[in-house]
Amino acid sequence: MTVSIELVTMIVSVASTILGLASGFGWVISRMDARFAGFEQRVDARFAGFEQRVDARFERAEQRADARFEKSEQRADARFARVEADIAEVKADIGEVKVAVARLEGPAQRLLVAR
């Protein structure tokens, strides 16, 4: 079987065209990967700085909130101590009132009267 030179030329040109397209496509993909990697590094660096700033802001806000809560807790403790003192004073006064009422009423009446 003999093959004409035109057929060989056509097969070689189709093969080289396919090989050229495949290598060009591979080159484009590798360039895109390199660009995306560079872009990812820039974005990661940018977000790392942003993340640190945001974390610092949240820490400051948390410290301010903790300080506020501590102040309000101290005020509440002071108020609670004053209320406890007032209650103790009222308890002492109630004892005196009971004694005074008992003196006004006189001795308790008995249910059975002796004849």
Per-residue model confidence (pLDDT) at position 70: 92
Q: pLDDT tens, 62-111?
A: 999 999 999 999 898 889 889 898 888 888 888 888 877 777 776 667 77
DSSP state at residue 109: P
Q: pLDDT tens, 14-30?
A: 999 999 999 999 999 99
Q: pLDDT tens, 31-48?
A: 999 999 999 998 888 888
Cα 31 vs. chain centroid, distance in angstroms?
Answer: 40
- How far apart are the C-alpha atoms of 99 and 90, rounded to whole Å? 14
Conformational region of residue 106, where left means phi above 0, alpha means psi within -120 to 50, and beta covers everything else:
left
The model's pTM is: 0.41
Cβ neighbours for 2, distance < 8 A, ≥ 6 positions apart: none
For residues 47-61, give the mean pLDDT.
Answer: 89
Confidence of residue 115 (pLDDT cuts 50, 70, 90): low
Apex 99 CA angle, 93 and 104, nearest 5: 125
Does 108 or 56 have the greater pLDDT score? Answer: 56
Per-residue model confidence (pLDDT) at position 114: 66
